[in-house]
Amino acid sequence: MRKSRLTMTTFAVALFLGAFANAQTQFRDIPAGHWARQAVEFAVQCGLIEGFPDGTFRGNQNLTRYQAALIFFRLYQTNRLETTRPECRLAVERGAQEVAPELEQLRQRFAALERTNQDQAARLAALEAEVKRAIETSQRAAALEQRLAALEQQVQRLAQAPQPTQPAQPAGPTPAELQARIAALEQQVQRLSQAPAAPSAPQDAVALERRIATLEEQVRNRPDAARVAALEEQVRGLSGQVTTLQNQVNELRQQAQRPAPAPQPQPQPEVRPTPPATPPAPAGRNLYFGAGAALGILPQPPGGIFNTNNLAISGVVGVREVFLGFGLRAGLDYNLGTQALGIEAYLTRHFGTGFLNPYVGVGARFLPALANPVYGSAAVGLDINAFGPLGFFVEANPRLEAGLNFGLGARAGLKFNF
C-alpha cells in the first residue's frame, strides 16, 4: 500500500510538471507519442531527473524512497512550487511527507558538502598566497645573486690591477664601500632565511586535492634554503677577499713611492684561426607511409560524427617529390560499419622539412558502394615530425560529390618517413 501511495504521488508530480514541459530529451526507451513524455522532458530540463548512464529512463520501474526524496529535494531547490496550483502543491507536500526522513538526510548531506567546499576554498586560498610569497622570495634571491656576481667581478678586477708607477687613486669602489654592501647583503640573506614554511595540504575533497598537492610540491621544492646557505658562504668568502685586497692596496700605495723597473715585453703566442665546423646535412626522407582513422564531418551523418558507420581505418603511401617539387600519394579506407572500401589518389606538394611541415593535395576518390563512385577530393594537412622518422599527421579533406554537393572529412594518424 505504501509503495502504491508513493507511485501515485510521483504521478501527481509528473502531471504538475507536464503542464509546463517544452524541452526535448533523447531517452531511447521513451517513444515519441508516450503519454508522459512531456513530463519527463520538463523534469530533465529542470534537473530533477537525470536518467541512467546507458541513455534510458526506465519509466516502468518502481521508485525507491531515496530516489523519490532526491526528486522532491531538487524540486524545492528550483522553487517551482510557488507558482503552481494549490491542489498540485498539496499532492507534492503529501508525497514529501512520506519520504521526510530521506529528504532530511539529503539536506544534511548537502549542507555538509557546502561547508566542506567552503573550508577547502579557504585552505586553497591560503596555500596559493603562501606560494606567491615563496615566488617573491625566489625572485629576491635571484636579484641577490646578480648583485653578488657583480661584486665578484669588481673584486677580480682589483686583484688583477697592475702596479702603478705614479701615485694614483684605486679604481672602482673602496674597501669600506664593499664592506657596507656586504653588510647589507647579509641582512637580506637573514630575512630570506626567516621565510615561513608552507602549510600542509588538506586531504578531504578530491576535486581540490590535486591542485593543493601541486602547490604544496612547488613550495617543498623551492630552492630558497639551499640558495641562501650558498649565498652566505659566498659572502663570507668575499669578506676574506676584501680584507686581503685592503692589505694589497696598502702595499701598492707604499710601492708607488718607489720607481718601478720598466716592464719587459712578453712574447705573444701565435693565434691561428680555427675553421668553423660544418654540420653534416640531414639525410633526406622522400618516401612515407601513414596509418590512422578517417571520418566524415559534412554533411553530418545520421548517427553522429563518431558513429561506427562514419568511421574508417585509413592507410596512405606516397612520395614527397617526383618532379618540380610535386609528389604523389595513394590511399585506402575501410569503413568499420558498412565494410565498404574507398580508394584515393592525390597530386601533393610539401612545404619544408623541419618539425612542422604543411602540405596540400588535389585528386579523386573512388567508392564502389556509391551510385556515383568517383568524385573530386583535396587534402590540406600538417606533418609533425616529433620522433625523427616517426611522426603524426592531421588533415582535412574537402570534396565535391555528385550534384556539386560540398562535403568535408578529416583524417589523422601516425606517419613513418624513410
157-212 tens-digit pLDDT: 877 766 555 444 445 566 677 677 777 777 776 776 565 544 444 444 555 667 76
d(C-alpha 212, C-alpha 210), whole Å? 5
pLDDT at 27: 82
Query: Quick one: what percent of the chain has pLDDT higher than 70?
Result: 69
Q: What is the pLDDT of residue 359?
A: 95
pLDDT for residue 221: 65
Which of 392, 393, 390, 382 lies closest to 416 in space, CA to CA?
Answer: 390
Q: Domains of the chain (ranges plus CATH)?
A: 2-98 (no CATH), 119-255 (no CATH), 287-417 (2.40.160.20)
Identify the burial level of 175 via C-beta atoms within 10 angstroms of its C-beta, where 0-12 means exposed, 13-18 middle and 19 or more buried.
Answer: middle
Neighbours of 418 (CB within 10 A): 10
Q: What is residue 317's predicted lDDT score, i.e. its pLDDT?
A: 95
Q: Tell me what pLDDT residue 381 has.
A: 95
What burial class does residue 303 get, using C-beta atoms within 10 Å of its C-beta: 0-12 exposed, 13-18 middle, 19+ buried? exposed
Query: What integer pLDDT is reported at residue 384 of this predicted model?
Result: 92
Q: Residue 338, SS3?
A: coil
> pTM for the complete prediction?
0.35
Cα-only R_g, the chain: 39
Alpha helices by DSSP H, listed for 82-223, are: 86-98, 100-159, 175-193, 206-220
Phi, psi of 268 (to 5 degrees): -90, 135
Tell me, what's the pLDDT at 189? 62
Q: How far apart are CA 17 and CA 103, in angstroms?
A: 20
In the predicted model, what is the mean pLDDT of the chain?
Answer: 75
pLDDT at residue number 204: 45
- The pLDDT tens digits for 274-332 are 655 544 434 457 899 999 999 888 887 877 788 888 888 999 999 999 989 899 999 99
Residue 403 has what pLDDT?
75
**Per-residue model confidence as pLDDT tens for the chain (418 residues):** 444 444 444 544 554 444 444 445 578 888 888 888 888 887 777 667 778 888 888 888 887 887 777 777 777 777 666 666 666 666 667 766 777 777 778 778 878 888 888 888 888 888 888 888 888 888 888 888 888 888 878 777 877 766 555 444 445 566 677 677 777 777 776 776 565 544 444 444 555 667 766 766 765 665 555 665 677 777 677 777 777 877 877 787 777 766 656 666 666 656 566 655 544 434 457 899 999 999 888 887 877 788 888 888 999 999 999 989 899 999 999 988 888 889 999 999 999 878 888 999 999 999 887 777 888 899 999 999 888 889 999 999 998 887 778 889 999 999 998 8
Quick check: helix, strand or coil at residue 3?
helix
Q: What is the pLDDT of residue 15?
A: 44
Residues 6+ apart with CB under 8 A from 15: 39, 88
